[in-house]
Structures are given as C-alpha cells and as structure tokens.
C-alpha cells in the first residue's frame, strides 16, 4: 500500500483517490438494469423502504429537496409531485451513466417540470449554504469515500431546521437473520448479477460494501459529530435497512 490515505472498496483496501473510479465503474456497468435488479434483489420491498423515507422527510409544497446519489430517480419523482410547481427537486449523482438513466426515465414519465439534474460529488456539493429544506441519500452513502466530509457537506447546504435522511443497508438485528442475509448476499446476489446484468463482480462489491458500512449506532454518532441534531434511526426488515434522520439546528 502506498503512503496515500486508504479506504475500503468492498473488502479491498485501496487508495482514497482510486475508490471513486472503482465505484464509478460498478455503476456504469449496472445503470441500464439498475431498477430491474433492485426489484429482483429486494422482492420489491425497496419501494416500501423509500415510501417510509418520504413520509418521514416532512417535505411539503414549495420545498426545495436535494436527492444525492439519486440514480434512476425513484425518490425524485415522488418529491416532484409533493413539492409542486413552486417547489424544486435536484437529482444529483456523481455517476453520469446513472444520471442519464434517471433523466431519461423521468422525462418519459413527465415528472421533469420541477426537477433539475446535477452531476455532483456528495463530499463537495456545488450548492450555496442553506439551500434545501430536505436532503436525502438512499443506498449511496456506503459508496462515498469520505463519509464524514459528505455529511458535513450535506449539513452545509441544508437550511436551518432542514432534515437529512439517510436510507442505507445496515446490520440485521438478529444473528440468525444476519447469517441468512449473508448467505443470500454472497451467493445469490452475484449469481443474479451475472444472469441479469452479465456482471457478478459488481454485486459481489455490493455485498461487501454493505458489510463494511457503519452500523446503526455508528452512523448515528457520525451524523451527530457532523453537527446534526435530534438524530434517530428506524430499522426496517429486521435491520437489513435503516433510515437515519437528523436536523440542522
């Protein structure tokens, strides 16, 4: 390993400046079938997880919402309907392939009127201070190289009283569920990726990145350390997924 700072790409240790390109290659590979794989992997339950996030967001008509790592636009489409013509939704993603798929999808479904598309790095968001009523990041934080820096960036662009919601895979609450989930993640997901996308390596990375992501309490502490107040989390599907919510004081 070089003298450069290192981080994890799945179970591998890599230089910090290499991770972004490695993650980018994963999402370039899977972008065209991302929605299909989400439905197959979760049995459609990811839609319930996202609906719960939207309910806890407190977003109302006229609000400004930033959806980071917004990918193919599931959350952005729903927020677009909520905020209405006087509101604003920014779908941001660091990966141009994912952003292109999301843009095409939302244009096809006529939700594009109040949605902007921005290629952006969560660690250095290109927006002024105090810009958004709500920031969301769903299944994206584990791919960020410097999570602490990204959380501080999200805090900066939120208005006082604004909310951050982090929806992410987390640690199952029971050991039995954890063992079953490991078996599914490391055996079924790569096979599914090979059959559906022609890429098993990306889904091996997915399984590994979930295991390397901070657990519920650790992420809660990270959000508090970044400056968020009233941080709480809600486990879903036995803790396989957790929704963290924090407020900018």
Please state the residue numbers annotated as binding site: 72, 93, 121-122
d(CA 80, CA 109): 12
CA distances 54 to 57, 80, 102, 165, 209, Å, are 5, 11, 18, 9, 25
Which residues are annotated as part of the binding site for S-adenosyl-L-methionine? 72, 93, 121-122
Is residue 208 within 8 A of residue 11, CB to CB? The reply is yes
CA distances 26 to 4, 63, 83, 101, 138, Å, are 23, 33, 32, 15, 17
Residue (of 85, 109, 89) closest to 35 by Cα position: 109
d(CA 67, CA 53): 12
Q: Per the structure block, which two tokens stand in for 167?
A: 């929806």
């Amino acid at each position: 390993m070089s003298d450069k700072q290192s981080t994890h790409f799945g179970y591998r240790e890599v230089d910090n400046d290499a991770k972004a390109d490695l993650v980018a290659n994963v999402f370039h590979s899977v972008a065209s079938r991302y929605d299909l794989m989400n439905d197959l992997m979760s049995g459609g339950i990811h839609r319930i997880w996202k609906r719960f996030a939207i309910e806890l967001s407190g977003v109302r008509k006229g609000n400004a919402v930033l959806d980071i790592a917004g990918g193919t636009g599931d959350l952005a489409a729903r927020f677009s309907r909520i905020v209405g013509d006087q509101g604003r939704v920014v779908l941001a993603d660091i990966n141009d392939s994912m952003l292109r798929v999301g843009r095409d999808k939302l244009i096809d479904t006529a939700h594009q009127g109040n949605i902007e598309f921005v290629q952006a790095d969560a660690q250095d968001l290109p927006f002024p201070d105090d810009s958004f009523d709500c920031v969301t990041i769903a299944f994206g934080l584990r791919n960020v190289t410097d999570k602490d820096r990204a959380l501080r960036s999200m805090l900066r662009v939120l208005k006082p009283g604004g909310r951050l919601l982090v929806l992410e895979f987390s640690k199952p609450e029971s050991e039995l569920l954890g063992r079953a989930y490991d078996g599914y993640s490391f055996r079924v997901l790569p096979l599914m990726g090979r059959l559906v996308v022609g890429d098993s390596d990306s889904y091996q990375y997915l399984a590994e990145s979930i295991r390397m992501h901070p657990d519920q309490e650790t992420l809660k502490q990270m959000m508090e350390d970044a400056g968020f107040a009233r941080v709480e989390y809600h486990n879903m599907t036995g803790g396989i997924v957790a929704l963290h919510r924090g407020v900018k004081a």
